[in-house]
Amino acid sequence: MLWDREESKLHEGMAHNPTPDVIRKSLKHFGVARSFAGIASDPSALQYIADELRNITQHGNLTANEAEEKVELLTKQFKTKFKRSSVSAASKLLWLKHRTPFIIYDSRATLALGFARKPTYADYCAEWRRNYEGSRSAIAAASSRLCEITGFLSSWLRSPDTLSTITREDWFHERTFDVYLWETGGDG
């Protein structure tokens, strides 16, 4: 499982006070480091991203609309600092920090959702949610069955109780749908 192998450790590092090293690893994990000119040679750029993530989401539970606004705000901050707009990077970093209610924006997923052109983040989220709602119960049912095949999963898997807990979480179902869209969208 992608979550257990890679993303859970990144989430732990991002959840409270992300360091520049965790930011770098997170950008690399999602393949969006290229959106940030100069981060390899300027450690302050990574610190800027960490600071912006903390500043933008310092308040507790967010609604879906507030999460969308936070992604748009972080995207604008990135454009100001790095001269390049990256809603994909903003959404991925915010998802990794908080998971739900953030929705990962990805160009391959836009293709899977049927967009012929790059949609706005709000339009993308609306279509993502519409499609997710139609698949929610099937994803939940399939996720619950992962506990039945633990003998066939790699040795990195945590305990069966942990797997059972994770596979019942809404964010896990949402991430499963993200991965499905990414795979369905192909190379675009």
Buried-exposed string 46-69: b where 16+ CB fall within 10 A, e elsewhere: bebbbebbeebbeeeebeeeebbe
Q: What pLDDT does residue 186 have?
A: 77
Residue type, 179: V
CA distance 14 to 23: 8
| Full-model pTM | 0.90
CA distance 70 to 79: 14
Residue type, 53: L
Q: What pLDDT does residue 147 have?
A: 75
Task: Name all contacts of 106-109 with Cβ < 8 Å and 24+ positions apart.
Answer: 106/178, 106/181, 106/182, 106/185, 107/185, 107/188, 108/181, 108/182, 108/184, 108/185, 108/186, 108/187, 108/188, 109/178, 109/181, 109/182, 109/185
Residue type, 32: V
Helix (H, G, I), strand (E, B) or coil at 148: helix
Q: What pLDDT does residue 162 have?
A: 78
Q: What pLDDT does residue 86 have?
A: 92
Q: What pLDDT does residue 25 have?
A: 93
Q: What pLDDT does residue 94 have?
A: 96
Q: What pLDDT does residue 188 have?
A: 52
The residue extents of the domains of the chain are 2-185
Per-residue pLDDT tens listing for the chain (188 residues)? 577 778 989 999 998 889 999 999 999 999 998 888 778 778 889 999 999 998 887 667 889 999 999 999 999 999 999 988 899 999 999 999 999 999 999 999 999 999 999 999 999 999 999 999 999 999 999 988 887 776 665 544 566 677 788 889 999 999 999 999 999 997 65
Helix (H, G, I), strand (E, B) or coil at 46: helix
Q: Which of 27, 12, 5, 180 is nearest to 99 (CA)?
A: 12
